[in-house]
Amino acid sequence: MWKAIYARAPDRVRAVAGFVTRWPEYVETVVGAQRRRADRDSDQERVLRWIFELGAKFQVASGALGDDDVLVIDEGFAQRAVAVFGHGWRPDEEADLARYVASMPRPDLVFVVDVPLEVCRERLDRSGWPARIAAQAAEVRNAYLEAVSDIVRLTTEMLGAVGVAVERIDGTAPVDAGRIQALRSLSV
């Protein structure tokens, strides 16, 4: 659907403009946080591109789906909190993260894959680190993983506090086909 609807530049512009118009507080929260973090964040243009791409896709899909339809996003607005805040995260930015969570399009259900940091580190060493952090020293990558863990925990808590269903999945255990079937049957 995305490729068919979003293939032409005018369609992209309309989708981005529609998202920005519908979610201005979210956009301002992201831009404001980036402005305050400019001295310690990297590739902010890339993060904005990710935000606007996700927003535009969400806008197009929202317009194409009916009231009873379910939209599944593998890397949605909750996950993008990591992209916005992961680099150079400081605990005093929790208020910015709370504004981010409060202003984003709110999902009905969020899946959190729990994986210990050491397992994450090993998997990223094998598969490759994100471009924004790949060339950094090991201690910088470790600090990034710890920051990401904090952001995921806080985002999950904030979403749960406002009534978003949070389903935790053990990312180190083999996938249980029965569990996947049960998750599919959840009403979202």
29, 153, 159, 27 alpha-carbon torsion, rounded to 10°:
10
Cβ contact 118:98 at 8 Å: no
Q: Does residue 11 carry a pLDDT above 90?
A: no
Nearest to 111 by CA among 46, 184, 16: 184
Find the radius of gyration of the CA atoms of the chain: 17
pTM of the full structure: 0.83
Q: Does residue 169 carry a pLDDT above 60?
A: yes
Per the structure, how many domains does the chain have? 1
The residue range of the domain holding 125 is 2-184
pLDDT class of 170 with cuts at 50, 70, 90: confident
Per-residue pLDDT, averaged over 112-118, amounts to 91
Per-residue pLDDT, averaged over 40-46, amounts to 82
pLDDT tens per residue, range 124-166 = 999 999 888 889 999 999 999 999 999 999 999 999 999 999 9
Task: Look at phi and psi of residue 84 and say left if phi exceeds 0, alpha if psi is from -120 to 50, else beta.
Answer: alpha
The residue whose two tokens read 């984003």 is 104
